[in-house]
């Protein structure tokens, strides 16, 4: 009986058998609404590490790595080249469903938290996140690819990809918080938050959470109308133009 | 005050966009052009995707040209037959332009095509306008009388079949070149997000010998009709018309146009043409510069499958 209960507890904790820490995390908000005055938002991730009698004694402190990833959509990276004196897009690579938003938040540099082997295995950090490309109807990873580097760099410049070594703050040795910055241009959709707890360079527990970004009210109405009823939407816009023009001509009539 | 544009997917400052509408409206009212050739680049400059900018500006130009057309209608300065014949060509041209637009977007070459068309078109038209108006100014400075346009000299394409009488303009010419001009204007309007007034007016005056009295009003009617059809076509095929953006631009545009028209009446015709020519040339040069100078970043990214 007792062993069964312990086994279930271990399963619930989702942790390696040797450790018995439990990781609990929650977001301040699970629905981000895009309204007409939306200019980006900041979500806060709160969490705590729960220890019990069975927890192994830790010599060092805990480390947290939280990975937020947004909806996936195919993306093309293009490179310009000079052709007959002008700059033209000549080469391009198609990336198969990379995350449209990727934020890796940690309390100190990933290199200090765990070794390269673990980072690769756990896909920790932007450099170790797989971004498969479409190569002649085949899907594969290309190492040292300038197109991949350009994709990451451009996404970073837009604030869509980020890796921050000081975004997670430990308030007490077991209580932490992290802020997730969502710039205005983040795409709508479902986002996942994967939180990993490390101790002495090893993964000891993990948990996940999710939130969604939705357009609401008028914004959603316009998007739906434009996508699903293109003709009506076009006619309505045209009518609006004629009405505006007519009102102006009446309001400013001089003759 | 920031407002989030639902289709362009970016927040913009309402007052900035309104001011852009006012400024471009002022210029368009002053010179009697739609102003699309200025508005589209400005929107691209503040971060709107070129495709959304082109598609949304069409409805802005529709609004400003409609208010202009009403004013000319009251003065009976519109040749309806001519406008409708041009429109027939214009609708086919718009459809072709929207199709090309969609195709180029898929090929990743839309931005290049928009840039190249701007350079070519604005460069050529700008040089011609500056040259013509400068000559006119020098001539009047020297005290010579204004050059008289040779009256009614027939060109071969006036004699093509399908002759039509355009009563109010007092010309009797083949419908074929008129349809062709309509096609070109509609095509360029859809691809470049311009009304084409600055092209249509000289074409009608110099090629078709239409008197100046009816040219501007007729051009405004055609502009608003082709821009209305381009708006509807863009909305149905590419779903890229941002109605919120368009509305802010329109409001600024129609108000600015009223003040611009007032200012335009105080400046002499050739000086007005010189100013417009220089403006057209400057915008063309800006695009040329962008194409020729090595870009800051050789790489760019695009989400596949529409802007939504």
pLDDT digits (tens, 9 = 90+) for B75-91: 777 888 888 888 899 88
Instruction: Provide mean pLDDT across the span B139-153.
Output: 64
Which of B65, B239, B302 has its CB closest to that of A226? B239
Which SS3 state, helix, strand or coil, does residue A151 take?
helix
pLDDT bin (cut points 50, 70, 90) of residue A54 is low
Question: Based on the structure, what is the number of domains in chain B?
Answer: 1
pLDDT band at residue B205 under the 50/70/90 scheme: confident
Domain membership of residue B245 (yes or no) is: yes
Could you tell me if residue B297 is inside a domain? no
Check A39 against B304: CB less than 8 A apart: no
Counting beta carbons within 10 angstroms of the beta carbon of residue B176, is it exposed (0 to 12), middle (13 to 18) or buried (19 or more)?
middle
Please tell me the predicted confidence (pLDDT) of residue B144: 67
Asked whether the beta carbons of B219 and B204 are under 8 A apart, the reply is yes
Q: What is the pLDDT of residue B25?
A: 87
Least confident segment among A52-66, B152-166, B250-264: B152-166
Model confidence at B308, in pLDDT bands (50, 70, 90)? very low
A window 114-173, beta carbon within 8 A of B: 147, 150-151, 153-155
* ipTM topping 0.90: no
Asked whether residue B305 is assigned to any structural domain, the reply reads no
Is B254 inside any structural domain? yes
Tokens standing for residue B167: 């009563």
What pLDDT sits at residue A101? 92
Closest Cα of chain A to B54: distance in Å? 14
Q: How far is CA B118 from CA A53, A103, B94, B133, B147, in A?
A: 73, 39, 17, 21, 31
Residue A84 — very low, low, confident or very high, per pLDDT cuts 50/70/90?
A: confident
* List of residues 6+ apart from B81 with CB closer than 8 A: B164, B165, B166, B167, B168
Q: How close, in Å, is residue A192 to chain B by CA atoms?
A: 20
B226 in A contact zone (CB under 8 Å): no
Q: Is residue B251 part of a domain?
A: yes
A 10 A CB-CB count for B122 gives: 25
- Residue A4 above 60 pLDDT? no
Average pLDDT over residues A68-79: 89
Chain B from 50 to 109: CB within 8 A of any A CB: 59-60, 62-71, 74-75, 108-109
Mean pLDDT, chain B, integer: 81
The rounded distance, in Å, linking the Cα atoms of B185 and B220 is 12
Residue A255 has a pLDDT of: 53
Q: Do B112 and A88 touch (CB under 8 A)?
A: yes
pLDDT (0 to 100) of residue A61: 83
Both tokens of residue A187? Answer: 């795409």
Lowest mean pLDDT of B111-115, B149-153, B251-255, B284-288, name the range.
B149-153
Is residue B225 a part of any domain in this protein?
yes
Whether B65 shows a pLDDT value over 80: the answer reads: yes
Whether pLDDT at B153 is above 60: no
Task: Give the Cα separation of B261 and B282 in Å (integer).
Answer: 22
Question: What mean pLDDT do residues B38-57 have?
Answer: 85
- Considering only residues 94 to 123 of chain A, which have any Cβ-Cβ distance to chain B shorter than 8 Å? 94, 100
Q: Does B161 touch chain A (CB under 8 A)?
A: no
Structural domain boundaries enclosing B56: 2-292
Domain contains B304: no
The verdict on residue B302 lying in a domain is no
CB B4 to CB A184 under 8 A?
A: yes
């Amino acid at each position: 009986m007792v062993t069964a209960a312990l086994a279930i507890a271990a399963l619930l904790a989702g942790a390696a058998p040797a450790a018995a820490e439990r990781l609990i995390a929650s977001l301040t908000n699970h629905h981000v609404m895009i309204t007409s005055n939306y200019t980006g938002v900041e979500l806060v991730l709160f969490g705590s590490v729960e220890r019990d009698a069975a927890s192994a004694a830790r010599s060092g402190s805990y480390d947290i790595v939280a990975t937020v990833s947004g909806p996936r959509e195919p993306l093309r990276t293009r490179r310009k080249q000079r052709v007959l004196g002008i700059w033209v897009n000549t080469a391009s690579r198609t990336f198969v469903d990379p995350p449209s938003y990727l934020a890796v938040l940690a309390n100190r540099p990933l290199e200090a938290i765990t070794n390269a082997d673990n980072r690769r295995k756990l896909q920790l950090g932007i450099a170790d996140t797989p971004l498969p490309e479409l190569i002649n109807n085949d899907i594969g990873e290309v190492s040292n690819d300038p197109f991949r580097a350009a994709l990451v760099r451009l996404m970073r410049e837009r604030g869509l990809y980020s890796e921050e070594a000081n975004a997670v703050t430990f308030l007490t040795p077991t209580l932490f918080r992290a802020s997730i910055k969502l710039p205005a241009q983040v795409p709508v959709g479902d986002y996942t938050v994967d939180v990993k707890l490390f101790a002495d360079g090893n993964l000891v527990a993990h948990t996940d959470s999710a939130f969604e970004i939705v357009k609401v009210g008028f914004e959603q109405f316009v998007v739906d109308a434009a996508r699903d009823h293109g003709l009506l939407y076009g006619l309505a816009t045209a009518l609006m133009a004629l009405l505006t023009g007519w009102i102006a001509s009446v309001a400013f009539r001089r003759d | 005050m920031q407002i989030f544009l639902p289709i362009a997917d970016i927040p913009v400052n309402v007052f900035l966009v309104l001011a852009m509408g006012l400024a471009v409206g002022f210029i368009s009212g002053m010179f009697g052009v739609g102003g699309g050739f200025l508005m589209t680049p400005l929107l691209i400059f503040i971060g709107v995707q070129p495709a959304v900018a082109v598609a949304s500006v069409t409805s802005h130009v529709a609004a400003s040209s409609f208010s202009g057309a009403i004013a000319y209608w009251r003065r009976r300065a519109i040749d309806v037959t001519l406008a409708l014949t041009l429109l027939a060509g214009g609708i086919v041209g718009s459809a072709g332009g929207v199709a090309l637009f969609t195709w180029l977007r898929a090929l990743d070459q839309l931005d290049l095509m928009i840039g190249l068309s701007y350079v070519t078109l604005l460069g050529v038209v700008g040089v011609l306008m500056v040259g013509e108006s400068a000559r006119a100014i020098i001539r009047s400075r020297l005290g010579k009388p204004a050059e008289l346009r040779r009256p009614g000299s027939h060109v071969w394409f006036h004699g093509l079949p399908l002759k039509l009488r355009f009563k109010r303009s007092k010309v009797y010419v083949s419908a074929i070149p008129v349809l062709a001009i309509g096609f070109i204007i509609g095509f360029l309007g859809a691809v470049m997000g311009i009304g084409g007034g600055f092209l249509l007016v000289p074409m009608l005056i110099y090629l078709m010998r239409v008197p100046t009295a009816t040219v501007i009003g007729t051009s405004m009617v055609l502009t608003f009709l082709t821009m209305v059809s381009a708006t509807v076509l863009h909305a149905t095929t590419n779903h890229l018309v941002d109605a919120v953006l368009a509305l802010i631009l329109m409001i600024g545009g129609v108000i600015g146009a009223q003040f611009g028209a007032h200012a335009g009446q105080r400046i002499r015709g050739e000086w007005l043409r010189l100013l417009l020519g220089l403006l057209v040339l400057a915008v063309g040069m800006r695009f040329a510069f962008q194409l020729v100078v090595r870009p800051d970043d050789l790489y760019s990214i695009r989400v596949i499958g529409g802007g939504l």
